[in-house]
Amino acid sequence: MDIQGRFRLNECTRIKMYAPPKEGNGQWESVEGIRVKLLPVGKEPWGSATPSGDLEMVIANPIACQVFLEAPIHTEFNALFSRVEGVEDATT
C-alpha cells in the first residue's frame, strides 16, 4: 500500500557536504548541496489527521537541488511513501 502525503517547504539552505568520488580515486569530494525542511500540510490526502513533525533531507544531486532552490518558501510538494520489499532490516 502506498501513502501519499503533502508537505510545505519551510527551509532551503545551501551547505557544504561530501560526496563519493567520481573518478574512483578513493577520496570523498567536497561539494555544495542543500538541506531542506518540509512541514506536513493538513489537507487531503491525509486530511485533519496529518501527523506533526517535519521531513528533512540533505541533497547533493544538482538537479534535485535546483527544484527546491527555485521554489518559493511555502511551496507544497506531494510525497509518495511505499514499502521497499526485499531490503534487509538495518538493525540486523
Domain segments of the chain: what residues? 2-19+27-71
In this prediction, what percent of the chain has a pLDDT beyond 90?
45
What does the alpha-carbon distance between residue 87 and residue 77 come to, in Å, rounded to a whole number?
A: 27
Q: Which triple of cell numbers denotes residue 1? A: 500500500
For 8-65, write each residue's pLDDT tens digit.
Answer: 999 999 999 988 887 777 788 889 999 999 998 876 666 666 567 789 999 999 999 9
- Does residue 49 sit in helix, strand or coil? helix
Say if residue 92's pLDDT is above 80: no
Write the single-letter amino acid at 4. Q
Output the CA–CA distances (angstroms, integers) from residue 44 to 1, 41, 79, in the order listed: 17, 8, 12
